[in-house]
Each structure stands twice: as structure tokens, then as C-alpha cells.
Amino acid sequence: MLDFNSRPAMAERINAAVDAALEADRAATSPRDYLGASRLGHACERALQFEFARAPKDDGTDFTGRTLRIFAIGHALEELAIRWLRAAGLDLYTRKGNREGGEQFGFSVAGGRIRGHVDGIVAEAPAALGLRTPALWECKTMNAKSWRACVRDGVTTSKPVYAAQIALYQAYMEANVPGISAAPALFTAINKDSAELHHELVPFDAGLAQRMSDRAVRILRATDAGDLLPRIARNADFHECRFCPWSARCWRLSA
């Protein structure tokens, strides 16, 4: 006879084993040794400096198995979005040669210390869709609340980190894909709770791209010189600081 009371314990053991495997795989992955364009729009330059310098995170703030599962679901949904957009007639390239296992499109500057990898490039699209090409394609998955805010306010207002990422990609990919900064980027947001899709065109913001590029150089120079960049706030209870994985380290320092 089945012991139904044992089911929760069994489920917990399986979940613990899954999470342990994910966390072990993450621990075995070499950390980035460069500033990623996807992160440069983060509000706090000191946090970005800690991240670039690979400063140890505060205890208990590393990614849990559950968080890694959320990331993996996001990657899987992005692959579905690629299939859906291609089925809709977009000539979408996600890797060089558009081959499985091909090299991802991206850029590398400052001796490889600033890099970015783009989700895709729309080479052509049906005229009825009104897209100019070649166009950068960036895809994100969000929970329902974040997705609704993005639809309501647009990615630039609701997700400034993503807007900075898009601007940097458009700027630095121009050398390899002429015209990609002239055409608005296509941003796709997937509602993870309902499978709803949001698409919007994001014109190139040269000023934002330059500010983010200048920020990257500032972080590199400060780190090389052993100087700490300013905190974003005056108090540790500031909302950005409360969720920062280097908060304890940061506020232990005298400045």
C-alpha cells in the first residue's frame, strides 16, 4: 500500500537533489572576468565594481537552486519566442550562420574587459509588420506584475537596465552589422504567468549608450587604481542596498 504521508518528504528530497545539482553546476562555472553590457544599467556603480572585481558576496545571498530554475525557465521561453517569431516570418539570426552551437553574436572592447552577447538580429521581416532591418532583437521574461508595467510604461521607463543594454548593443554592434543602430531595436517581453507577448520598438539612444560606455570605463579605471566608487545611497536601508549581495561588505567600509 502506498504511504501518502511520505509524498511531501519524497518531493522535498527530490527538489533538494535537483537544487544541489544546479548549485554545484553553477559553482563549477567560471565567473565573468569582464563587465557585461547587460549589467551596466544597474543603479549602483559600486555594486558593479564589486561584481567586476569578483568580491565575495555576503553570506546567504548567492543564487539558490530555485533562482537558477527561474533563470533556466527564462532561457527555455526565449527559445520558444525565437521559434514563434520565425514562424511569423521574421528572418531572425541568433547565432553566426544560424546554426545550433554556432557562436553567439556580440562585441568585445577595452581589451575584452567590456563585452556583450545579443539575443538576436532581425535580418528581414514581412513588410506588413512595419519593421526596419537589420534590427537588434532583445528578449526578456517577466512575472505578470513586471510585464504589465512594461506594457504600460515601455521598457525605457519600467526597465532602465534593459534600455541601457539595448543602447549599448546597438552602438557596439554597428561595426559588425552596419545599420543596426539606425533601425529601432525589437524588444520582446514574455509574461511567464500567462504566456502573453509584448513587443515594442526601441529607437537608438546614443546619449544613453555613451553614458553607459563612460560608466564602464570609470569602473575599470577605479578598480585598476584600487579606488572605491561612491555608494548609491547615504543609508544602508535604501531599497537598492537592502537587496544588494554586497551590502554588508559595502557598509562595513568607511566610505
Query: Burial letters for 214-232: b for 16+ Cβ neighbours within 10 Å, e otherwise?
Result: ebbeebbebbeeeebbebb
Q: For residues 22 and 37, give the distance between their C-alpha atoms in angstroms, rounded to a whole number.
A: 25
Q: For residues 168 and 40, give the distance between their C-alpha atoms in angstroms, rounded to a whole number.
A: 9
Low-confidence ranges of the chain (pLDDT < 50): none
Q: At what angle do helices 7-28 and 65-87 cross, to 10 degrees?
A: 80
Q: In this structure, what C-alpha cell is assigned to residue 225?
A: 587604481
Measured between alpha carbons, how far is residue 26 from residues 17, 71, 72, 92 in Å? 14, 12, 12, 30
Q: For residues 239 and 152, give the distance between their C-alpha atoms in angstroms, rounded to a whole number.
A: 23
Say if strands 114-117 and 35-36 run parallel, antiparallel, or are unpaired.
parallel
| pLDDT score, position 4 | 54
Burial class from Cβ neighbours inside 10 Å (0-12, 13-18, 19+) for residue 128 reads exposed
Q: For residues 91 and 134, give the distance between their C-alpha atoms in angstroms, rounded to a whole number.
A: 10
| pLDDT score, position 232 | 93
Domains with residue ranges and CATH for the chain:
33-252 (3.90.320.10)
pTM of the model: 0.90
